[in-house]
């Protein structure tokens, strides 16, 4: 490093507060600090502005109906269509502008630009095809697809005809697909033949077919997008109810499908996410409130303008891709990028090459990626002109100040504000973050809650804790983007998110408090630092995995008697999966069993859940009431001093396990 670099690093290291640059602030979508007070005074009508970002078929009567908490309704009796809002209304002014810039992983391939006109056409054709196959309003269509353009086309086609979609991340296993299709009673699947990962074609249809064999009801139709290039395909015979995506499009060439009027509260989509029990939760999102929230936060926080080329590197298989690759950006009529591959293929500068080539104006990514960029080194971004970037964002897990500053300096050139956005699948969109044109940034802290949100940090009794003290994050007022319930499971919805801090017998909305199950602290300025999950959910590379889900996969392996899974610290992934396993009598602690366990987890969930370490142990540390003390297992995984073991039924076991882990 040059002297200058060293000085700069040292200055950055110490700096705790960063102001947005004047050049950014001047042009920001939100410039008036008064917005916080105004929203507080004018609540819930303050959200009319978000609804105004959309085109409504039928105006709504009431902004919020809170007569039956926690089943809040937003923009009641209003009707609209999400696909019309993301496509049709932009045609006149932006028909020839790019809606989606798609970049495939192979470098020498022709990438595809879809103008609004073209995307609109494809969506209409596919919507006509879906209808013809019998997909009706309210039917859940499952999508099991990687980052290929047919995925947003299918999503928007579903939205057009009022069929909720349920997108299952392509990296999930066949079993995970089956579980989700079964839970949603979904009779239609859109998938693909394969895709590219680090240069190799991957067979995806094989996995989809295996998943289909585990579906407990009849599947009417499977539509297969043919992504692989000539010569890379795998041998697949289509079953009678399977049809190629392109054939559906070709059969409906030129079709026009009138967008269906949907009630604001009608389900736009389902998104399964991990919780504390083994069964994934089907988070239900609405059409009006969700879309308004995705659009408003895209505008206020990501500062999206129609002429931008906005790049979010998440996968559409997660909520981030739903809200901030598809719905938010397209509702605002901007150009949204989609990249199929990984950031290190063919080399570790791939994202920077894309930013330069397309002159991307925003980059929204995850701390796990930023930690990897840091490890690879600044020489990769330095090879490219990143001056088109105006704003940077992160989401998915806490970002440590060092990674934040690296991102700010080496990607943003100290000119771009960094928005550290806290939110969840359940919240639909961003909740806690700085408004980039008006708020100072504090690396490591997400920032204040967005205007109109009442977020408090409380103790176990529900009383607010002092600034600086750790407590639990709570949201004390509803917001338009919130989940409406868990699919067909109102009871679990109340249990998981409300019961902890609400008076569940009350009809008064003031007695209802949403609990996201995260720990956090707040500082004197109202900036919130999110500390991480307080439930049994592990955050691996920004992806939520339930320990119960992984444990049930492990105990399904022959030879395993009992298992406990915890998250241990990991440089790149944030957390990694540590599995403590007790073998059944008659089974040895062999390498074969270890591999079988790892394979078992991959089969049940997918490679992201792959244990970093499998530790065989004769016993697990348990309290006298038989509860596994995960905290101790976490300490062991992290090589930390062991906490209090006095409440254990079997205190000796921890030191035995610790010795074993160090020996491994
Ligand atoms: C964590 C992703 C700290 C948090 C959009 C939350 C974060 C969970 C942040 C939701 C952040 C997300 N700082 N932690 N900026 N963003 N989280 O449902 O624990 O996949 O509860 O949604 O990720 O993960 P989910």
Spatial separation of the C-alpha atoms in residues 386 and 563, rounded to whole Å: 47
Task: Kindly state the helix (H) or strand (E) to which residue 27 belongs, with its residue range.
Answer: helix 22-27
Q: Which residue out of 324, 396, 443, 529 has the highest number of ligand 1 atoms within 8 Å of its CB and is therefore the one to mutate? A: 396
pLDDT at 87 over 70: yes
Supply φ then ψ for residue 662, to 5 degrees: -65, -35
Q: Give how far the C-alpha of residue 48 lies from the chain's centroid of Cα atoms, to the nearest Å.
A: 26
Least confident of 288-302, 470-484, 539-553: 539-553
340 pLDDT more than 90:
yes
**pLDDT of residue 660 exceeding 80:** no
Residue 645 has pLDDT above 70, yes or no: yes
The predicted structure's pLDDT at residue 2: 66
Task: Return the structure tokens found at 214.
Answer: 């585990």
Do 177 and 222 meet the contact criterion of CB atoms below 8 Å apart?
A: no
Lowest mean pLDDT among 222-226, 513-517, 602-606, 620-624: 620-624
The pLDDT-based confidence of 639 (bands split at 50, 70, 90) is: confident
Task: Say whether pLDDT at 517 is over 60.
Answer: yes
Give the closest residue (by CA) to ligand 1 atom 13. Answer: 398
pLDDT value of residue 544: 87
pLDDT value of position 664: 54
Per-residue confidence (pLDDT) for residue 269, from 0 to 100: 98
Q: How far apart are CA 91 and CA 401, in angstroms?
A: 43
**For residue 85, is pLDDT > 70?**
yes
Can you tell me the distance from the alpha carbon of 513 to that of 509, in angstroms, rounded to the nearest whole number?
8
| Calpha distance 326→329 (Å, rounded) | 6
Residue 287 banded pLDDT, cuts 50, 70, 90 = very high
Residue 278 confidence (pLDDT): 67
649 Cβ neighbours under 8 A, 6+ residues apart: 622, 623, 624, 626
Using DSSP's 3-state secondary structure scheme, residue 655 falls into helix
How many angstroms is it from 663 CA to the middle of ligand 1?
34
Q: Determine the average pLDDT of the residues in 428-438.
A: 98
d(Cα 271, Cα 487) in Å, to the nearest integer?
9
Residue 129 has pLDDT above 60, yes or no: yes
Q: Which domains does the chain have, with CATH numbers?
A: 536-663 (3.30.300.30)
Largest pairwise CA distance in the chain: 73
- State how beta strands 391-395 and 418-421 pair: parallel
- For tokens 């042009």, name the residue: 27
β-strands 560-570, 528-533 pairing: unpaired
What local confidence, expressed as pLDDT, does residue 561 receive? 87
The mean per-residue pLDDT over the stretch 22-50 comes to: 98
**Mutation test of ligand 1: which of 327, 421, 530 has the most ligand atoms closer than 8 Å to its C-beta?**
530
495, 499, 504, 508 alpha-carbon torsion, rounded to 10°: -120
User: How many angstroms is it from 400 CA to the middle of ligand 1?
Assistant: 14
Q: Please tell me the distance between residue 422's alpha carbon and the centre of ligand 1 in angstroms.
A: 6
Protein residue with least CA distance to atom 12, ligand 1: 396
CA dihedral 490, 496, 499, 504 (to 10 degrees): -10
Closest residue by Cα to atom 7, ligand 1, is 397
Is the distance from CB of 358 to CB of 328 less than 8 angstroms?
Answer: no
Q: Is residue 276 over pLDDT 80?
A: no
Tell how far the Cα of 544 is from the centroid of ligand 1, in angstroms: 8
Beta strands in 409-555 (DSSP E): 418-421, 455-458, 471-475, 485-486, 518-522, 528-533, 537-540, 543-546
Give residues (CB < 6 A) around ligand 1.
273, 318-320, 395-398, 420-425, 446, 516, 518, 530, 532-533, 539, 544
> What confidence score (pLDDT) does residue 187 get?
98
Share of the chain above pLDDT 90, in %: 83
Q: How far apart are CA 185 and CA 91, in angstroms?
A: 35
Please report which confidence band the pLDDT of residue 349 belongs to, taking 50, 70 and 90 as the band edges. Answer: very high
Helix (H) or strand (E) holding 247: helix 245-251
**Which of the pair, 72 or 278, is modelled with greater confidence?**
72
* Per-residue confidence (pLDDT) for residue 152, from 0 to 100: 98
User: What is the spatial distance between Cα 614 and Cα 621, in angstroms, rounded to a whole number?
Assistant: 16
The mean of the pLDDT values for the chain is: 94
Q: Ligand 1, residue 543: give the atom nearest the CA.
A: 20
- Report how far apart, in Å, the C-alpha atoms of 504 and of each of 459, 498, 510 are: 19, 8, 11
The band of 254, judged by pLDDT with boundaries at 50, 70 and 90, is very high
Residue 663 pLDDT level (bands cut at 50, 70, 90): low
What are the pLDDT digits (tens) for 102-123?
999 998 788 999 999 999 999 9
- Lowest mean pLDDT across 286-300, 325-339, 364-378: 364-378
Listed in sequence order, the residues at least 6 apart from 466 whose beta carbon sits closer than 8 Å to its beta carbon are none
Structure tokens at 267: 């389900």
Q: Which residues contact 447 (CB under 8 A, 6 or more apart)?
A: 419, 420, 432, 433, 434, 439, 441, 527, 528
Give me the residue label for tokens 């931008």: 308
- Nearest-angstrom CA–CA distance, 635 and 615: 14
CB 39 within 8 A of CB 73: no
């Amino acid at each position: 490093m040059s002297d200058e670099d060293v000085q700069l690093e040292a200055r950055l290291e110490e700096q705790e507060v960063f102001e947005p640059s004047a050049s950014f602030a001047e042009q920001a979508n939100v410039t008036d600090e008064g917005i916080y007070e105004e929203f507080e005074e004018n609540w819930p009508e303050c959200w009319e502005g978000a609804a105004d970002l959309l085109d409504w078929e039928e105006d709504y009567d009431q902004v919020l109906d809170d007569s039956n908490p926690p089943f809040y309704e937003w923009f009641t009796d209003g009707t609209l269509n999400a696909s019309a809002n993301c496509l049709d209304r932009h045609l006149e002014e932006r028909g020839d502008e790019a809606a989606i810039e798609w970049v495939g992983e192979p470098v020498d391939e022709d990438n595809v630009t879809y103008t609004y006109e073209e995307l609109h056409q494809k969506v209409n054709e596919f919507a006509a095809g879906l209808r013809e196959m019998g997909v009706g309003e309210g039917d859940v269509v499952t999508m099991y697809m990687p980052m290929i353009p047919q995925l947003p086309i299918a999503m928007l086609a579903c939205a057009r005809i009022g069929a909720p979609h349920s997108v299952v991340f392509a990296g999930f296993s066949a079993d995970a697909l089956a579980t989700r299709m079964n839970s949603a009673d979904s009779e239609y699947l859109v998938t693909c033949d394969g895709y590219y990962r680090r240069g190799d074609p991957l067979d995806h249809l094989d996995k989809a077919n295996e998943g289909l064999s585990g579906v407990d009801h009849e599947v009417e139709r499977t539509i297969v997008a043919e992504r692989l290039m000539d010569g890379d395909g795998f041998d697949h015979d289509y079953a009678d109810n399977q049809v190629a995506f392109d054939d559906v499009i070709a059969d409906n060439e030129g079709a026009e499908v009138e967008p269906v009027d949907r009630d604001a509260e009608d389900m736009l989509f389902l998104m399964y996410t991990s919780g504390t029990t083994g069964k994934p939760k089907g988070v239900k999102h609405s059409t009006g409130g969700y879309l308004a929230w995705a659009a408003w936060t895209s505008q206020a926080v990501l500062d999206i303008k129609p002429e931008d080329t906005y790049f979010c590197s998440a996968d559409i298989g997660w909520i981030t891709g739903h809200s901030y690759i598809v719905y938010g950006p397209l509702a605002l009529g901007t150009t949204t990028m989609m990249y199929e591959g990984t950031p290190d293929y063919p080399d570790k500068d791939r994202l920077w090459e894309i930013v330069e080539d397309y002159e991307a104006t925003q980059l929204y990514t995850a701390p796990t990626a930023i930690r990897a960029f840091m490890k690879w080194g600044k020489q990769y971004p330095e090879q490219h002109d990143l001056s088109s970037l105006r704003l940077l964002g992160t989401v998915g897990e806490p970002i440590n100040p060092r990674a934040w500053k690296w991102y700010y300096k080496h990607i943003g050139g100290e000119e771009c504000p960094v928005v550290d956005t806290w939110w969840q699948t359940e919240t639909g969109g961003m909740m806690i973050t700085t408004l980039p044109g008006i708020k100072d940034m504090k690396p490591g802290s997400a920032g204040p809650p967005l205007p109109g949100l009442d977020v408090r940090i409380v103790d176990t009794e529900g009383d607010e804790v002092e600034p600086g003290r750790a407590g639990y994050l709570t949201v004390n007022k509803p917001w338009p983007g919130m989940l409406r319930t868990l699919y067909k499971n109102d009871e679990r919805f109340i249990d998981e998110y409300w019961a902890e801090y609400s008076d569940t017998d009350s009809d008064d909305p003031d007695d209802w408090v949403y609990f996201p199950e995260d720990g956090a602290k707040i500082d004197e300025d109202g900036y919130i630092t999110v500390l991480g999950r307080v439930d049994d959910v592990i955050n691996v590379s920004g992806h939520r995995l339930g320990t119960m889900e992984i444990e049930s996969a492990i105990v399904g392996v022959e030879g395993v008697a009992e298992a406990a899974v915890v998250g241990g610290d990991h440089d790149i992934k944030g957390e990694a999966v540590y599995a403590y396993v007790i073998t059944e009598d008659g089974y040895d602690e062999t390498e074969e069993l270890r591999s079988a366990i790892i394979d078992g987890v991959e089969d049940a969930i997918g490679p992201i859940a792959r244990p970093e370490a499998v530790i065989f142990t004769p016993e697990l540390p348990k309290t006298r009431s038989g509860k596994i003390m995960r905290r101790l297992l976490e300490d062991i995984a992290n090589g930390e001093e062991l906490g209090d073991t006095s409440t254990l039924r079997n205190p000796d076991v921890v030191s035995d396990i610790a010795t074993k882990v160090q020996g491994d």
